[in-house]
Structure 1
Amino acid sequence: MGRPLRSEQVDRDEVSIVHAVQRCVRRAFLAGVDQATGKDYGFRREWIRRRMEALASVFGIDVLSYAVMSNHMHLILRNRPDVVGAWTDQEVAIRWLKVFPGRRMEEHLGEPTENEVQMLVSDRERLAEVRRRLSDISWFMRSLSEPIARMANRQDECTGRFWEGRFKLQRITDEAGLLACAMYVDLNPVRAAMAESPDQSVHTSGYDRIKGEQGQEIDSAAFDLVPVTTEQAGEERRTTPVDELREKKRAKGKNPTGKRIRRDGWLAPLTLDESTLSSDAQPNQAGVRASDKGFLGISLKDYVELLRWTAKQSEEGAGREIPPSLQGLVSRLGIDLSMWRDLVWNFQRYFGNSCCAGSPSGMSQFAESSGRNWVRGHRKVAECFAA
């Protein structure tokens, strides 16, 4: 049975959560030390993280979790057409032009102007399409992957394909699947023996949240969502040499807004506020992420504690007994306490060939909604849930 079409997995007019994986072609290295050549590409990790952070400030996409590995990256994303629907036409236009300015000539290195924003706003058909794209996960991944591929090819002094193909998409059907997937993503460096604990797993959402809670701040990579005046842009382009324009744009890219934020400030908050309506968009007002809506029914403190405990269960059969203080977090989702470690550490065994991830009932509902009788992994994952 083939993988469902993306239109069957994600309705871009409805809020959905997905696990996306993008892998490099052949033996190309995204980041880390290439064992074949000995070259260290570790510096790319922060560039990739900052690109994700920048896109999170303009797209109607919540970044829930992520991990940048040596030859692939994981992201858990939630599309937010409800948030994009609340933006004004001017907001939609400037956000789009920041990522896709539509200029290719070097003399046009300036910021989008008020005139360009107004031109897009006046094109109603084009603006409607742009509004849809800003909450489209495929467009978010395209905006993330293409610049990385160009940069890597330029540094490797080669041409051709860098990614093995389109990113893999997996629908998350419920909170049980989301909690297991989030921890699987955050523990990727530990599973790969790149780090001993989540506290050392740099360039993962788990690490960012731990450091953010400790008060660590970083220069914000969020786009400056203010267009320049047409007169100012014209004067700058007439009087400033191209090299200076290029250098100015590069310098501004390091901190476009001049602000500092918590290390995890660009990620979606972890804890879902149950007092708010499920349909409440909660758009972010600071311009660093799409919304302030959480995604799990547990506190960050409990999540980190469970993450650290799960990270220590690296040996098969070791420490299967979940501490009593954490058992309620797992059992309320219907997960067998003795199978929690296995569900997270062997996430790929249960869901690797499936188009979705979640509890047996959640996977069954997804199969029905996509016109199927069943989905791969349904029977196997049932072993991890209480009868």
Structure 2
Amino acid sequence: MTKPRKQLIDADTTPFYHIVSRCVRRSFLCGRDAQGNNFEHRRQWIEDKILALPHIFAIHVCAYAVMSNHYHLVLEIDAEQAETWTTEDVIQRWHRLFNGNLFSQRFVRGEALAAAEREALDSCVAVWRSRLANISWFMRQINEPIARDANAEDNCTGRFWEGRFKSQALLDEKALAACMAYVDLNPVRAKMAKTPEQSDYTSAKRRINKAKSAHNPNHKQQQPKSLRAFVGNPRQDMPAGLPFKLTDYLELLDWTGKQVRANKRGAIAAELPPILTWLNIDPKHWLYSATQFESRFKGLVGGAYKLKQACQKLGYQRTPGLGSCQLLS
């Protein structure tokens, strides 16, 4: 039975989520379909949306890949950021998406509001603040405009996307790293590209291109502004960001991509990326996780201990996916 969204996405359990949205129609979201129709330009539509929305929402994009009839995201909910916004911040961000209401429009014009009007506005702002830190609202701002534009281009009506997007909660660093690698290597596995740096419309290519021109690729300020920055391995007084070094992650991607392309069972290189050592992941388990992530793991992904904790918090009567998650323990 399908679980309610509130049981699948809970920022208090984990801020990190793997999201997949698939096209329901025969015509492709992007690329060239079996009938020879080319929709390659739509990949730019969706990448532009993915990179623009983090500047409005309190949600960071950690990884993405736009494929032929679906796309992947790894998102981080930043509830603390949303709480630091002033009323004016929330209204300005909301007005970049919607018209707001009469009170919010008067507020930004600097007009005085009566006490009852201000109370009504504050109530709306509280709702908008919550929505701007909500993955469902984030996805709505991608999927609805894309569906309208694609329907107009195809001269048809009807549903463009599946009923709802798929989400997986990433409970720890191991699950986060495996999922990000799974997303970034999608085009390599699909034989759309030979290497991550050749994978168009992915976070991997964007990060690699930026790193090539950076004096210090691991420095937060020298990484792509629209993507969540890598801030180094976990430590005390750690800044907000992804808990890895960018160079370590890119080395891991390169190594994993080579193993995927080798397509030989058990073909493990002697030189392993250091990140696998400190994450304490067996390389064979890593390759399985990084290539089978979506099919192997279900709604909650992490080590066995983290999985049991999350299930207890969310009120699950069982612990789904425990056997698969033991690969990440």
- Listed as ranges, the matches of 1:117-156 within 5 Å are 123-156=121-154
Query: Is 1:25 the equivalent of 2:24?
Result: yes
Q: CA deviation at 1:381?
A: 3.8
State whether structure 2 residue 109 is matched by structure 1 residue 115: yes
Unaligned 5+ segments in structure 1 are 104-110, 217-260, 281-292
In the alignment, the residues of structure 1 paired with residue 27 and residue 111 of structure 2 have an alpha-carbon distance, to the nearest angstrom, of: 39
Looking at structure 1, the residues matched to 32 and 250 of structure 2 have their Cα atoms a distance apart, in angstroms, of 29
Whether the 8 Å CA contact 1:23–1:72 is kept in 2: the answer is yes
1:312-365 CA-to-partner distances (Å, cap 9, x unmatched) read 1121425324514x1x422333322232212211223421xx111222222222
* Displacement after TM superposition at 1:310 (Å): 0.4
Question: How is 1:76-95 mapped onto 2 (pairs within 5 angstroms)?
Answer: 76-95=74-93
User: Which of 318, 321, 324 is the aligned partner of 1:374?
Assistant: 318
Superposed displacement of residue 48, structure 1: 1.0
Describe the shift of the 1:385–1:48 C-alpha distance in structure 2 as closer, same or farther (beyond 3 A).
closer
Q: Describe the SS at the equivalent of 1:142.
A: helix
- Following TM superposition, by how much is the alpha carbon of 1:29 offset from its aligned partner in structure 2, in angstroms? 1.0
- What is the CA distance between 1:81 and its match in structure 2? 1.5
Q: Take 2:22 and 2:196, find their aligned partners in 1: how far apart are those partners?
A: 22
The question of 1:331 aligning with 2:277 is answered: yes
Q: CA 1:209/1:187 → structure 2, altered by over 3 Å: closer, same or farther?
A: same
1:363 maps to 2:296: no
Tell me the equivalent position of 1:295. 242
CA contact (8 A) 2:43 2:66 kept: yes
5 Å-filtered alignment, 1:62-81, equals: 62-81=60-79
Give the distance between the partners of 2:328 and 2:222, measured in 1 at CA: 36
Aligned-residue offset at 1:28: 2.7
Q: In structure 1, what is the equivalent of residue 230 of structure 2?
A: 270
Counterpart Cα distance in 2 of 1:69 and 1:177: 22
- The 3-state SS of whatever aligns with 2:259 is coil
Q: What residue is the counterpart of 1:96 in the other structure?
A: 94
Alignment equivalent of 1:177, drawn from 175, 178, 181: 175
Structure-2 separation of matches of 1:10 and 1:117: 38
Structure 1 residue 272, shift from structure 2 partner: 4.5
- Partner AA of 1:372 in structure 2: Y
| Whole-angstrom CA distance in 1 between matches of 2:271 and 2:94 | 48
Q: 2:265 aligns with which of 297, 317, 331?
A: 317
Q: Distance in 2 between matches of 1:117 and 1:84?
A: 25
| AA aligned opposite 2:57 | F
Q: Count the aligned residue pairs.
A: 314
Alpha-carbon distance, 1:266 to partner: 0.6
Q: Deviations over 1:32-81 (max 9, x none)?
A: 00112x11111111121111121111100011111111000100111111
Provide the residue aligned with 2:254 in structure 1: 308
More helix by share: 2
Question: What is the one-letter code of the residue matched to 2:15?
Answer: S
Determine the structure 2 residue equivalent to 1:9. Answer: 8
Per the alignment, residue 218 of structure 2 pairs with none
Partner of 1:35: helix, strand, or coil?
coil
Q: Distance in 2 between matches of 1:211 and 1:311?
A: 17
**Contact kept? 2:13, 2:310, Cα under 8 Å:** no
Which residue pairs with 2:197 in the alignment? 199
Structure 2, unaligned stretches of length 5 or more? 215-220
Report the CA distance between 1:375 and its aligned residue: 3.5
**Superposed CA RMSD:** 2.7
Question: Relative to structure 1, is the Cα distance of residues 322 and 359 closer, same or farther in structure 2, using a 3 angstrom cutoff?
Answer: farther
**Which whole-Å CA distance do the structure 1 matches of 2:198 and 2:27 have between them?**
25
Change (3 A) 1:385 1:115: closer
Summarize the Cα distance change of 1:126–1:72 in structure 2 as closer, same or farther, 3 Å threshold: same
Instruction: Name 2:49's counterpart in structure 1.
Output: 51
Change (3 A) 1:316 1:362: farther
- Tell me which moved more, 262-271 or 41-50: 262-271
Residue aligning to 1:107? none
Q: Distance in 1 between matches of 2:148 and 2:15?
A: 30
Match of 1:348 in 2: 294
